[in-house]
Amino acid sequence: MVMMKRLSLILILLLLTSCDDSKKHEVQQIDDVQGNQTELEQEKDKSPAFILNEIIEKAKRGLVKGSAFNVLDSEINQVKEKWGEPDSVDRAGSGYYATYKKEGITFGYNEKGEIFDVRSYSKELNNLAFTDIEEVAGSPKEKNEYNNDYIYTYEVTSDIQLKFVGPKNSGKVDHISVFNQKRTILLEDPYLLEIKGKSNQLSSTAWTSMQNWRKQIVNFSSGQENVFINGPNKKMVALTFDDGPDTTTTLAIIDILDEYNVTGNFFFVGSNVEKHPEIVRAAYEKGNLIFSHSYNHIDLAKLTKGELLIQMKKAEKAIEEVIGKRSAMLRPPYGETDELVAAVAKEQGYSIVLWSIDTLDWSQKEASNIVKNVIDNGRNGDIILMHSTEEQSETKKALPLIIEELQKRDFEIVGLDELLNVKAYK
């Protein structure tokens, strides 16, 4: 009897063990299925269609992945309270762009602190090809090329644009921008002047070309933090002189500026500085500012980065050896400036300073015409372009008349550092 009971217990235990193993096997099977499903979901999450649909849905709410701050009602102060101070802040036009490298996010905001642009540099975006975007989202409203990048723009709501940006050579997305068009209306219009000045000595073709260049360079400057066409809307102007020094016109200009007790701004060519250091020193000791006009007076926009650095550094060294200071302002010869020139200049600590009034003293040789270009066009914040070489002998005749008329009109004639509120020397 006892033996039968023991056998019964053993059988029951075997049955229970068998059931337990069966359940474990079923659980393992379920886990395996769920695991496979998770892997499939992960693969699905990485697909271009899934990523794009997620981007579009978030964009409709003014968002990008990785940020709770949007272009509808968020402000930059809210970001700072949550994420701290940005790694960098750059100015573009009338807006500011704050970059948070760790988060891979950049916020564009206006003078009021309202966020109008959120950009994501998430690495998963690099998996998206522009062909994928068109396949999923259709043709963009705008398809542009700028600085070797593709820019595809879609309108996801009446106010919000979604932009995909990436290099043409890879065909892949680098970053996206969710942009609120309505909030940009709140930006104050920048005080950006047209470039004025005429010459009756230019051919119609040359005049048309100059007009086109003026429009292009003004537009370019509006998107660059360190490129200036003019100063602020205040009763101040700056007199600037290019191409010297020489032994005649430059000396005469220095004496005239000293006589009227006003500051001049000389953009000297580095190779000329080496030839006439005593004239550079005289200009500096009389209270004028000495800046760089490159070393060889060549078109900087046609150079490589290495060649640009040579032009900047050699001119900088020539000036420093004379006045003991390194210029922090650069005027490219002919005003020719592009993205690379601006970027290298910024990297080297330069502000690029162009002009808003061209006296055309290299074309119009009569002093009366030089004066007329200034007096007929004078505005708050003007930067006035003249030259200081032998060929501009009429400029030294025109300069006293220009100074007297500007002062009659209550314009303060100042250094570019004061006009632009940027440093003159590094």
Reported as a single tens digit per residue, the pLDDT across 234-278 is 999 999 999 999 999 999 999 999 999 999 999 999 999 999 999
Among the listed residues 246, 358, 387, 417, the single catalytic one is 387
Positive or negative: CA dihedral 338, 341, 346, 347: positive
Distance CA 330, CA 312 (A): 8
Per the annotation, the verdict on 387 as an active-site residue is yes
Count Cβ atoms within 10 A of the Cβ of residue 216 and give its class: 0-12 exposed, 13-18 middle, 19 or more buried. Answer: exposed
| Amino acid identity at 306 | G
Per-residue pLDDT of the chain (426 residues; tens, 9 = 90+): 444 444 444 444 444 444 444 444 444 444 444 444 444 444 445 789 999 999 999 999 999 999 999 999 999 999 999 999 999 988 775 688 999 999 999 999 988 899 999 999 999 999 899 999 999 999 999 998 876 889 999 999 999 999 999 999 999 999 999 999 888 765 556 799 999 999 989 999 999 999 999 999 999 998 898 999 999 999 999 999 999 999 999 999 999 999 999 999 999 999 999 999 999 999 999 999 999 999 999 999 999 999 999 999 999 999 999 999 999 999 999 999 999 999 999 999 999 999 999 999 999 879 999 999 999 999 999 999 999 999 999 999 999 999 999 999 999 999 999 999 999 999
Query: Domains of the chain (ranges plus CATH)?
Result: 48-184 (3.40.33.10), 204-420 (3.20.20.370)
- CB-facing half-sphere around the CA of 71: CA atoms within 13 A: 32
Among the listed residues 117, 132, 242, 382, the single catalytic one is 242
Give the chain's mean pLDDT.
89
Residue 79, phi then psi, degrees to nearest 5:
-65, -45
pLDDT in tens, 184-214: 765 556 799 999 999 989 999 999 999 999 9
| Amino acid identity at 356 | S
This prediction's pTM: 0.62
Distance CA 46, CA 356 (A): 52
| 236 and 380 Cβ atoms separated by less than 8 Å | yes
